[in-house]
Amino acid sequence: MTEKTYRRPTAGDHPPNLSPDYKSTPLRAPSQAAVVLPHSLSEITGPLLHGERLDANENDLTRQRMGEPLGERIIVHGRVLDEDGKAIPDALVEIWQCNAAGRYHHPGDQHDAPIDPNFYGGGRARADGEGHYRFVTIKPGAYPWKNHHNAWRPAHIHFSLFGPAFATRLITQMYFPNDPLLAFDPIYNSVPAGARERLQAAFDMATTQPEWALAYRFDIVLRGRNATPME
Amino acid sequence: MALGLTPSQTIGPFYFGTLIKAYRCELAPAGVPGERVDVVLELHDAQGAVVPDGLFELWQANSHGRYNHPDDRRNLPLDSGFEGFGRASTWTDGCARFHTIKPGRVPWPEGGLQAPHINVSIFARGLLNRVATRLYFEGDPALGEDPVLKRIEAARRNTLIAKKETDGTWRLPIHLGGPKETVFFDI
Ligand SMILES: [Fe+3]
Protein backbone atom coordinates (compact mmCIF):
# COMPACT_ATOMS: atom_id res chain seq x y z
CA MET A 1 0.00 0.00 0.00
CA THR A 2 2.87 2.40 0.73
CA GLU A 3 4.91 1.33 -2.25
CA LYS A 4 6.12 4.85 -3.09
CA THR A 5 9.23 4.97 -0.94
CA TYR A 6 12.18 7.31 -1.47
CA ARG A 7 15.70 6.37 -2.44
CA ARG A 8 18.38 6.56 0.24
CA PRO A 9 21.20 9.07 -0.22
CA THR A 10 24.58 7.53 -1.02
CA ALA A 11 27.51 7.93 1.36
CA GLY A 12 29.12 10.80 -0.54
CA ASP A 13 26.06 13.01 -0.94
CA HIS A 14 25.81 14.76 2.41
CA PRO A 15 28.32 16.04 4.97
CA PRO A 16 28.92 13.95 8.08
CA ASN A 17 27.31 15.64 11.08
CA LEU A 18 30.60 15.35 12.93
CA SER A 19 32.92 17.60 10.90
CA PRO A 20 35.43 18.85 13.49
CA ASP A 21 36.83 21.66 11.34
CA TYR A 22 33.40 23.24 11.82
CA LYS A 23 33.77 23.77 15.53
CA SER A 24 30.09 23.77 16.49
CA THR A 25 29.63 20.19 15.30
CA PRO A 26 31.26 18.07 18.05
CA LEU A 27 28.74 19.11 20.70
CA ARG A 28 25.74 18.92 18.39
CA ALA A 29 26.38 15.86 16.21
CA PRO A 30 24.64 12.68 17.39
CA SER A 31 27.25 10.01 18.14
CA GLN A 32 25.08 6.93 17.77
CA ALA A 33 24.12 5.57 14.39
CA ALA A 34 20.68 6.66 13.22
CA VAL A 35 18.10 3.84 13.26
CA VAL A 36 17.16 2.93 9.70
CA LEU A 37 13.43 3.32 9.23
CA PRO A 38 11.45 1.70 6.41
CA HIS A 39 9.20 4.27 4.77
CA SER A 40 5.65 4.29 6.09
CA LEU A 41 2.99 6.92 5.44
CA SER A 42 4.72 9.04 8.09
CA GLU A 43 7.82 9.39 5.91
CA ILE A 44 6.33 9.50 2.40
CA THR A 45 3.88 12.27 3.24
CA GLY A 46 4.92 15.73 4.36
CA PRO A 47 3.91 19.36 4.39
CA LEU A 48 3.38 20.74 0.89
CA LEU A 49 2.33 24.20 2.09
CA HIS A 50 0.33 24.70 -1.07
CA GLY A 51 -2.05 26.89 0.91
CA GLU A 52 0.70 29.24 2.12
CA ARG A 53 -0.07 32.68 0.67
CA LEU A 54 2.91 34.59 -0.72
CA ASP A 55 2.82 38.38 -0.80
CA ALA A 56 3.83 40.30 -3.90
CA ASN A 57 7.59 40.91 -3.89
CA GLU A 58 8.43 38.03 -1.58
CA ASN A 59 10.62 36.73 -4.41
CA ASP A 60 12.12 40.18 -5.10
CA LEU A 61 14.35 41.04 -2.16
CA THR A 62 15.22 44.39 -3.74
CA ARG A 63 11.64 45.67 -3.51
CA GLN A 64 10.58 44.79 0.01
CA ARG A 65 11.46 48.13 1.60
CA MET A 66 11.03 51.83 0.84
CA GLY A 67 14.10 52.10 -1.38
CA GLU A 68 16.51 49.94 -3.28
CA PRO A 69 19.18 48.07 -1.33
CA LEU A 70 22.84 48.74 -2.00
CA GLY A 71 24.84 46.10 -3.81
CA GLU A 72 25.03 44.21 -7.04
CA ARG A 73 21.53 43.24 -8.23
CA ILE A 74 21.31 39.58 -9.30
CA ILE A 75 18.75 37.09 -10.57
CA VAL A 76 18.89 33.66 -8.91
CA HIS A 77 16.77 31.02 -10.57
CA GLY A 78 16.66 27.32 -11.25
CA ARG A 79 14.53 24.23 -11.05
CA VAL A 80 13.49 21.98 -8.22
CA LEU A 81 13.96 18.42 -9.48
CA ASP A 82 14.15 14.89 -8.19
CA GLU A 83 17.01 12.49 -8.91
CA ASP A 84 15.30 11.30 -12.08
CA GLY A 85 15.25 14.84 -13.41
CA LYS A 86 11.49 15.10 -12.89
CA ALA A 87 10.23 18.53 -11.88
CA ILE A 88 8.81 18.96 -8.38
CA PRO A 89 5.96 21.33 -9.18
CA ASP A 90 4.68 24.13 -6.95
CA ALA A 91 7.48 23.72 -4.40
CA LEU A 92 7.83 26.43 -1.76
CA VAL A 93 11.41 27.77 -1.86
CA GLU A 94 12.56 29.85 1.12
CA ILE A 95 15.83 31.80 1.14
CA TRP A 96 17.71 34.09 3.50
CA GLN A 97 21.01 35.91 3.19
CA CYS A 98 23.11 38.79 4.46
CA ASN A 99 23.33 42.15 2.72
CA ALA A 100 26.03 43.33 0.32
CA ALA A 101 28.22 44.35 3.26
CA GLY A 102 28.07 40.91 4.84
CA ARG A 103 25.61 41.73 7.63
CA TYR A 104 22.38 39.88 8.43
CA HIS A 105 19.26 41.71 9.45
CA HIS A 106 19.25 39.70 12.65
CA PRO A 107 19.80 40.72 16.28
CA GLY A 108 22.38 37.97 16.74
CA ASP A 109 24.66 39.28 13.98
CA GLN A 110 27.25 41.54 15.60
CA HIS A 111 29.58 41.87 12.60
CA ASP A 112 30.94 45.42 12.32
CA ALA A 113 29.41 46.13 8.91
CA PRO A 114 26.46 48.38 8.13
CA ILE A 115 22.84 47.25 8.19
CA ASP A 116 21.05 48.25 5.00
CA PRO A 117 17.63 49.62 5.93
CA ASN A 118 16.43 48.68 2.46
CA PHE A 119 17.45 45.05 2.69
CA TYR A 120 15.81 42.49 4.94
CA GLY A 121 17.31 39.42 3.29
CA GLY A 122 14.42 36.98 3.40
CA GLY A 123 12.45 35.73 0.43
CA ARG A 124 10.05 33.03 -0.66
CA ALA A 125 9.03 31.83 -4.09
CA ARG A 126 6.65 29.23 -5.41
CA ALA A 127 8.08 27.05 -8.16
CA ASP A 128 5.85 26.71 -11.21
CA GLY A 129 4.48 23.52 -12.73
CA GLU A 130 7.89 22.69 -14.23
CA GLY A 131 9.67 23.29 -10.94
CA HIS A 132 11.13 26.62 -12.01
CA TYR A 133 11.66 29.27 -9.33
CA ARG A 134 13.11 32.77 -9.59
CA PHE A 135 14.38 35.41 -7.16
CA VAL A 136 15.73 38.91 -7.63
CA THR A 137 18.15 39.92 -4.88
CA ILE A 138 21.57 41.48 -4.33
CA LYS A 139 24.81 39.54 -4.14
CA PRO A 140 25.53 38.80 -0.49
CA GLY A 141 28.89 39.80 0.96
CA ALA A 142 31.40 37.58 2.70
CA TYR A 143 31.30 37.76 6.49
CA PRO A 144 33.65 36.78 9.28
CA TRP A 145 32.78 34.15 11.85
CA LYS A 146 34.69 33.02 14.87
CA ASN A 147 35.25 29.39 13.87
CA HIS A 148 39.03 29.83 13.56
CA HIS A 149 41.61 32.55 12.98
CA ASN A 150 40.63 34.78 10.04
CA ALA A 151 37.52 32.71 9.25
CA TRP A 152 35.27 34.16 6.53
CA ARG A 153 32.17 32.58 5.05
CA PRO A 154 32.15 32.65 1.25
CA ALA A 155 29.18 34.55 -0.19
CA HIS A 156 26.14 32.29 0.09
CA ILE A 157 22.36 32.21 0.08
CA HIS A 158 20.55 29.82 2.45
CA PHE A 159 17.84 27.68 0.81
CA SER A 160 15.04 25.68 2.44
CA LEU A 161 12.88 23.16 0.56
CA PHE A 162 10.28 20.63 1.64
CA GLY A 163 9.82 18.52 -1.46
CA PRO A 164 6.94 16.06 -1.61
CA ALA A 165 7.57 14.18 1.66
CA PHE A 166 8.93 14.34 5.21
CA ALA A 167 11.81 12.25 3.81
CA THR A 168 12.76 14.89 1.21
CA ARG A 169 13.19 17.90 3.54
CA LEU A 170 16.37 19.83 2.77
CA ILE A 171 18.10 22.95 4.03
CA THR A 172 21.22 23.93 2.15
CA GLN A 173 23.35 26.87 0.98
CA MET A 174 24.04 28.15 -2.53
CA TYR A 175 27.53 29.48 -3.28
CA PHE A 176 28.94 31.53 -6.16
CA PRO A 177 31.36 30.08 -8.72
CA ASN A 178 35.08 30.90 -8.49
CA ASP A 179 34.84 32.30 -4.96
CA PRO A 180 38.38 32.12 -3.49
CA LEU A 181 36.94 31.64 0.00
CA LEU A 182 35.37 28.27 -0.88
CA ALA A 183 38.72 26.54 -0.47
CA PHE A 184 38.95 27.71 3.16
CA ASP A 185 35.36 27.20 4.32
CA PRO A 186 34.79 24.24 6.69
CA ILE A 187 31.03 24.28 6.08
CA TYR A 188 31.29 24.03 2.29
CA ASN A 189 34.14 21.53 2.59
CA SER A 190 32.23 19.36 5.06
CA VAL A 191 30.51 17.95 1.95
CA PRO A 192 32.61 15.26 0.24
CA ALA A 193 34.46 16.33 -2.89
CA GLY A 194 32.44 15.43 -5.94
CA ALA A 195 29.21 16.51 -4.26
CA ARG A 196 30.15 19.90 -2.81
CA GLU A 197 30.50 21.37 -6.30
CA ARG A 198 26.72 20.95 -6.70
CA LEU A 199 26.33 23.76 -4.18
CA GLN A 200 27.87 26.26 -6.59
CA ALA A 201 25.45 28.15 -8.79
CA ALA A 202 26.38 28.54 -12.46
CA PHE A 203 26.84 31.99 -13.95
CA ASP A 204 24.03 32.28 -16.51
CA MET A 205 24.75 34.70 -19.36
CA ALA A 206 21.57 33.72 -21.22
CA THR A 207 19.38 34.92 -18.34
CA THR A 208 21.55 37.93 -17.49
CA GLN A 209 19.58 41.09 -18.36
CA PRO A 210 21.38 43.92 -20.21
CA GLU A 211 21.79 47.13 -18.21
CA TRP A 212 20.12 45.47 -15.22
CA ALA A 213 21.36 42.29 -13.48
CA LEU A 214 23.67 39.27 -13.71
CA ALA A 215 21.98 35.90 -13.42
CA TYR A 216 22.95 32.70 -11.62
CA ARG A 217 21.34 29.33 -12.04
CA PHE A 218 20.96 26.92 -9.13
CA ASP A 219 19.07 23.68 -9.70
CA ILE A 220 18.11 21.78 -6.57
CA VAL A 221 17.87 17.99 -6.65
CA LEU A 222 15.81 16.24 -3.98
CA ARG A 223 15.46 12.51 -3.37
CA GLY A 224 13.61 10.53 -6.02
CA ARG A 225 11.21 7.67 -5.53
CA ASN A 226 12.10 4.01 -5.66
CA ALA A 227 10.67 2.15 -8.59
CA THR A 228 7.30 0.65 -7.71
CA PRO A 229 7.94 -2.98 -6.78
CA MET A 230 6.15 -5.75 -8.67
CA GLU A 231 2.93 -6.82 -7.02
CA MET B 1 20.25 9.18 -15.81
CA ALA B 2 20.27 9.97 -12.11
CA LEU B 3 21.11 13.50 -11.03
CA GLY B 4 23.30 14.02 -7.96
CA LEU B 5 21.45 15.04 -4.82
CA THR B 6 21.91 18.58 -3.58
CA PRO B 7 23.94 18.20 -0.37
CA SER B 8 22.67 19.43 2.98
CA GLN B 9 24.16 22.39 4.86
CA THR B 10 23.56 23.84 8.30
CA ILE B 11 20.65 26.22 8.84
CA GLY B 12 23.15 28.53 10.59
CA PRO B 13 22.23 31.02 13.29
CA PHE B 14 20.50 33.73 11.25
CA TYR B 15 17.46 32.04 9.68
CA PHE B 16 14.84 33.71 11.83
CA GLY B 17 13.71 36.47 9.47
CA THR B 18 12.43 34.40 6.58
CA LEU B 19 11.32 31.20 8.11
CA ILE B 20 9.16 32.90 10.71
CA LYS B 21 6.65 33.53 7.93
CA ALA B 22 5.74 29.86 8.06
CA TYR B 23 5.94 29.45 11.86
CA ARG B 24 3.07 27.43 13.26
CA CYS B 25 2.82 26.84 16.98
CA GLU B 26 -0.95 26.48 16.69
CA LEU B 27 -1.51 23.43 14.52
CA ALA B 28 -5.17 22.88 15.30
CA PRO B 29 -7.47 25.89 15.37
CA ALA B 30 -10.75 25.68 17.30
CA GLY B 31 -13.14 23.24 15.71
CA VAL B 32 -10.53 20.69 14.64
CA PRO B 33 -11.61 17.37 16.18
CA GLY B 34 -9.32 15.42 18.49
CA GLU B 35 -7.77 15.38 21.94
CA ARG B 36 -6.05 18.73 22.51
CA VAL B 37 -2.39 18.42 23.49
CA ASP B 38 0.22 21.02 24.45
CA VAL B 39 3.64 19.77 23.43
CA VAL B 40 6.93 21.23 24.67
CA LEU B 41 10.12 20.14 22.95
CA GLU B 42 13.47 20.90 24.57
CA LEU B 43 16.76 20.84 22.68
CA HIS B 44 20.06 20.01 24.42
CA ASP B 45 23.61 19.56 23.17
CA ALA B 46 25.91 16.68 24.08
CA GLN B 47 26.84 18.34 27.38
CA GLY B 48 23.22 18.95 28.32
CA ALA B 49 23.31 22.71 27.64
CA VAL B 50 20.18 24.11 26.03
CA VAL B 51 20.34 24.98 22.34
CA PRO B 52 18.78 28.43 21.97
CA ASP B 53 19.08 28.68 18.17
CA GLY B 54 17.48 25.44 17.02
CA LEU B 55 14.43 24.98 14.82
CA PHE B 56 11.78 22.27 15.20
CA GLU B 57 9.37 21.13 12.54
CA LEU B 58 6.44 18.83 13.27
CA TRP B 59 4.50 16.65 10.86
CA GLN B 60 1.55 14.58 12.00
CA ALA B 61 -1.67 12.85 11.03
CA ASN B 62 -5.04 14.13 12.19
CA SER B 63 -7.09 12.47 14.91
CA HIS B 64 -8.41 9.90 12.40
CA GLY B 65 -4.85 8.89 11.52
CA ARG B 66 -5.03 10.55 8.10
CA TYR B 67 -2.17 12.63 6.67
CA ASN B 68 -3.14 15.72 4.68
CA HIS B 69 -1.21 14.63 1.61
CA PRO B 70 -2.13 13.18 -1.79
CA ASP B 71 -0.11 9.98 -1.17
CA ASP B 72 -2.37 9.10 1.77
CA ARG B 73 -5.24 7.77 -0.31
CA ARG B 74 -7.19 6.05 2.45
CA ASN B 75 -10.87 6.76 2.83
CA LEU B 76 -10.57 8.66 6.12
CA PRO B 77 -11.75 12.20 6.84
CA LEU B 78 -9.52 15.25 6.34
CA ASP B 79 -10.27 17.98 8.87
CA SER B 80 -10.57 21.47 7.49
CA GLY B 81 -8.10 23.85 9.10
CA PHE B 82 -5.69 21.07 10.01
CA GLU B 83 -2.62 20.60 7.82
CA GLY B 84 -0.47 18.73 10.35
CA PHE B 85 2.58 20.99 10.03
CA GLY B 86 4.23 22.88 12.88
CA ARG B 87 7.40 24.96 12.97
CA ALA B 88 9.07 27.08 15.65
CA SER B 89 12.54 27.96 16.81
CA THR B 90 13.74 27.27 20.30
CA TRP B 91 13.70 30.15 22.77
CA THR B 92 16.55 31.13 25.10
CA ASP B 93 15.52 28.22 27.34
CA GLY B 94 15.98 25.76 24.45
CA CYS B 95 12.24 25.05 24.29
CA ALA B 96 9.45 25.44 21.78
CA ARG B 97 5.76 24.95 22.62
CA PHE B 98 3.12 23.70 20.21
CA HIS B 99 -0.65 23.36 20.54
CA THR B 100 -2.08 20.53 18.51
CA ILE B 101 -4.26 17.43 18.68
CA LYS B 102 -3.11 13.90 19.40
CA PRO B 103 -2.73 12.11 16.08
CA GLY B 104 -4.55 8.89 15.30
CA ARG B 105 -2.80 5.65 14.37
CA VAL B 106 -1.35 5.19 10.92
CA PRO B 107 -0.58 1.86 9.24
CA TRP B 108 2.78 0.14 9.01
CA PRO B 109 3.83 -1.13 5.57
CA GLU B 110 4.20 -4.73 6.75
CA GLY B 111 0.78 -4.68 8.43
CA GLY B 112 -0.65 -3.48 11.71
CA LEU B 113 -0.79 0.04 13.05
CA GLN B 114 1.78 2.39 14.53
CA ALA B 115 1.20 4.03 17.90
CA PRO B 116 0.20 7.72 17.77
CA HIS B 117 3.30 9.77 17.02
CA ILE B 118 4.47 13.14 15.73
CA ASN B 119 7.38 13.24 13.26
CA VAL B 120 9.99 15.81 14.27
CA SER B 121 12.78 17.48 12.26
CA ILE B 122 15.56 19.35 14.04
CA PHE B 123 17.83 22.00 12.55
CA ALA B 124 20.51 24.09 14.27
CA ARG B 125 23.77 25.89 13.81
CA GLY B 126 26.39 23.15 14.04
CA LEU B 127 24.06 20.52 12.58
CA LEU B 128 25.07 19.93 8.97
CA ASN B 129 22.05 17.71 8.28
CA ARG B 130 18.48 17.76 9.48
CA VAL B 131 18.06 15.11 12.17
CA ALA B 132 14.73 13.33 12.45
CA THR B 133 13.04 11.76 15.44
CA ARG B 134 9.54 10.99 16.70
CA LEU B 135 7.44 11.97 19.68
CA TYR B 136 5.23 9.30 21.27
CA PHE B 137 2.83 9.73 24.19
CA GLU B 138 3.54 8.04 27.52
CA GLY B 139 0.82 5.67 28.65
CA ASP B 140 -0.66 5.13 25.22
CA PRO B 141 -1.90 1.53 25.11
CA ALA B 142 -0.46 1.03 21.60
CA LEU B 143 3.16 1.80 22.54
CA GLY B 144 3.95 -1.87 23.23
CA GLU B 145 3.02 -2.93 19.71
CA ASP B 146 4.60 -0.03 17.80
CA PRO B 147 6.82 -1.45 15.04
CA VAL B 148 9.24 1.50 15.17
CA LEU B 149 9.77 1.36 18.93
CA LYS B 150 10.37 -2.39 18.59
CA ARG B 151 13.36 -1.66 16.33
CA ILE B 152 15.04 0.32 19.10
CA GLU B 153 16.93 -1.19 22.01
CA ALA B 154 14.67 -1.13 25.06
CA ALA B 155 16.93 1.15 27.11
CA ARG B 156 16.70 3.97 24.55
CA ARG B 157 12.98 3.86 23.74
CA ASN B 158 12.13 6.35 26.46
CA THR B 159 14.07 9.06 24.58
CA LEU B 160 11.08 9.24 22.20
CA ILE B 161 8.28 9.19 24.76
CA ALA B 162 6.87 12.51 25.95
CA LYS B 163 5.70 12.59 29.55
CA LYS B 164 2.61 14.39 30.75
CA GLU B 165 3.27 16.99 33.41
CA THR B 166 0.84 17.99 36.16
CA ASP B 167 -0.30 21.06 34.19
CA GLY B 168 -1.22 18.84 31.23
CA THR B 169 1.81 19.69 29.08
CA TRP B 170 3.48 16.88 27.16
CA ARG B 171 7.24 17.42 27.42
CA LEU B 172 10.00 15.74 25.44
CA PRO B 173 13.66 16.60 26.04
CA ILE B 174 15.75 15.98 22.93
CA HIS B 175 19.47 15.42 23.40
CA LEU B 176 21.71 15.70 20.34
CA GLY B 177 24.44 13.75 22.11
CA GLY B 178 25.76 12.68 25.50
CA PRO B 179 24.50 9.95 27.85
CA LYS B 180 20.84 10.82 27.19
CA GLU B 181 21.21 10.98 23.40
CA THR B 182 17.86 10.78 21.64
CA VAL B 183 17.23 8.07 19.07
CA PHE B 184 17.37 9.62 15.61
CA PHE B 185 16.16 7.96 12.44
CA ASP B 186 17.75 7.40 9.08
CA ILE B 187 14.73 7.99 6.91
FE1 LIG C 1 24.93 32.52 6.42
Question: How close A135 gets to chain B, by Cα (Å)?
Answer: 14
Q: How far does the centroid of ligand 1 lie from the alpha carbon of residue B10, in Å? A: 9
CA atoms within 13 A on the CB side of A87: 12
The pLDDT value given to residue A231: 40
- Check residue A92 and give its pLDDT: 96
Contact call for B45 and A22, based on CB within 8 A: no
- Positions of A marked catalytic: 104, 143, 153, 156, 158
Say if the Cβ atoms of A198 and B7 lie within 8 Å. yes
Chain B residues close to A170, C-beta within 8 Å? 6, 8, 130
CA of A145 to the centre of ligand 1 (A): 10
For chain B, list the domains and their CATH numbers. Answer: 22-128 (2.60.130.10)
Q: pLDDT value at position A2?
A: 46
Question: Which chain A residue has the Cα nearest residue B115?
Answer: A42
Is residue A24 within 8 Å of residue A145, measured between CB atoms? Answer: no
Contact A171 B107 (CB under 8 A): no
In CATH, which of 2.30.30.140, 2.60.130.10, 3.40.710.10, 1.10.3470.10 is domain A4-221?
2.60.130.10
> Residue A18 in contact with residue A25, Cβ under 8 Å?
yes
pLDDT (tens digit per residue) in B154-168: 999 999 999 999 999
CA pair distance B56, B69, nearest whole angstrom: 20
Average pLDDT, integer, range B53-82: 97
Instruction: Output the pLDDT for position A229.
Output: 56
DSSP state, residue A187: T
Task: Identify whether the C-beta of residue B45 lies closer than 8 Å to the C-beta of residue B181.
Answer: no
pLDDT for B18? 75
Which DSSP category does A28 fall into?
T
DSSP state of B154: G
Per-residue pLDDT averaged across B66-95, rounded? 96
Query: How far, in Å, is the centroid of ligand 1 from the Cα of B48?
Result: 26
Question: Chain B contacts of A42, Cβ < 8 Å?
Answer: 59, 61, 67, 106, 114, 117, 119, 134
Distance from CA of B170 to the nearest CA of A (A): 21
List the single best residue of B128, B134, B153, B184 to mutate versus A (max A Cβ within 10 A). Answer: B128
| pLDDT tens digits along A25-76 | 999 999 999 999 999 999 999 999 998 999 999 999 999 999 999 999 999 9
How far A11 CA lies from chain B's nearest CA (Å)?
11
The minimal CB distance from A28 to the residues B12, B15, B127 is found for: B127
Smallest CA–CA distance from B6 into chain A, residue: A221
Q: What is the mean pLDDT of chain B?
A: 96
How high is the pLDDT of residue B103? 98
| DSSP conformational letter for A14 | S
Q: Which residues of B touch A35 (CB under 8 A)?
A: 151-152, 183-186
For the segment A206-220, what is each residue's pLDDT rounded down to a tens digit?
Answer: 999 999 999 999 999
Contact A167, A174 (CB under 8 A): no
* Region for residue B12 given its phi and psi (left: phi exceeds 0; alpha: psi -120 to 50; beta: otherwise): left
Q: Given an 8 Å threshold on Cβ–Cβ distance, is A40 in contact with B108?
A: yes
∠ at Cα A225 (A221, A226), nearest 5°? 135
What integer is the mean pLDDT of B87-110?
97
Closest residue by Cα to residue A145 from A199, A187, A206: A187
Structure pTM? 0.97
Q: Which of A41-45, A197-201, B1-5, B75-79 has the lowest mean pLDDT?
A: B1-5
Cα(A105) to centroid(ligand 1), Å? 11
**What is the distance, to the nearest Å, from the Cα of residue A183 to the centroid of all Cα atoms in its chain?**
19
Q: pLDDT in tens for each of the 231 residues of chain A?
A: 446 899 999 999 999 999 999 999 999 999 999 999 999 999 999 999 998 999 999 999 999 999 999 999 999 999 999 999 999 999 999 999 999 999 999 989 999 999 999 999 999 999 999 999 999 999 999 999 999 999 999 999 999 999 999 999 999 999 999 999 999 999 999 999 999 999 999 999 999 999 999 999 999 999 999 986 544
Q: What is the DSSP letter of B24?
A: B
Distance A97 CA to ligand 1 centre (A): 6
Best residue in A3, A4, A35 to probe B by mutation, most B CBs within 10 Å?
Answer: A35
Does the distance separating the beta carbons of B9 and A173 come in below 8 Å? Answer: yes
